[in-house]
Amino acid sequence: MDKTDAHKILLNSKTIAVVGASPNPVRPSHWISKYLMDNGYQVIPVNPGHTELFGLKCYPDVESIPEDIDIVNIFRRSDEVIPIVISALKKSSLKLIWMQDNVYNIEAARLATEVGIPVVMNDCIYRVHNQIS
């Protein structure tokens, strides 16, 4: 996928599920979630170890989220991505899978792109948004 296409999806999206969201303010998944919220996105935290983060209901997986989701932003190890992508693909509203810095899974990307969902791997949604907005 062309980077410009991913940038357009990011700028035109409203709802981002953050998988691996953390209550620890020094963790990138925490402060990047806050940045996204401060920049007008509805962030939905996903972490099976928590019921609430950022004052928001936290879900155990993407498919449990009742709302439509535009982007799934993944802060998990590369070897944990496939089940996350499988869960995300159950959301009909999904427009983009985004794997953060150092998160890279070819098989997960193949599963998504085979059904028409573009994938960004090994890139920071904060850094990109900051550059293009």
CATH number at residue 118: 3.40.50.720
The CA distance from 124 to 65, in Å, is 23
Name residue, tokens 């936290």: 58
CB 61 within 8 A of CB 85: no
Write out pLDDT tens, residues 13-58.
999 999 999 999 999 999 999 999 999 999 999 999 999 999 999 9
Nearest to 93 by CA among 3, 1, 38, 16: 16
Q: Which domain holds residue 78?
A: 3-132
Domain total of the chain: 1
Task: Please give the pLDDT value at position 68.
Answer: 97
- The span from the first CA to the last CA of the chain, in angstroms, equals 20
Q: How confident is the model at residue 67 (pLDDT cuts 50, 70, 90)?
A: very high
pTM for the predicted model, two decimal places: 0.96
Provide Rg for the chain, Cα atoms: 13
State the burial class of residue 40 (Cβ atoms within 10 Å of its Cβ: 0-12, 13-18, 19+): exposed
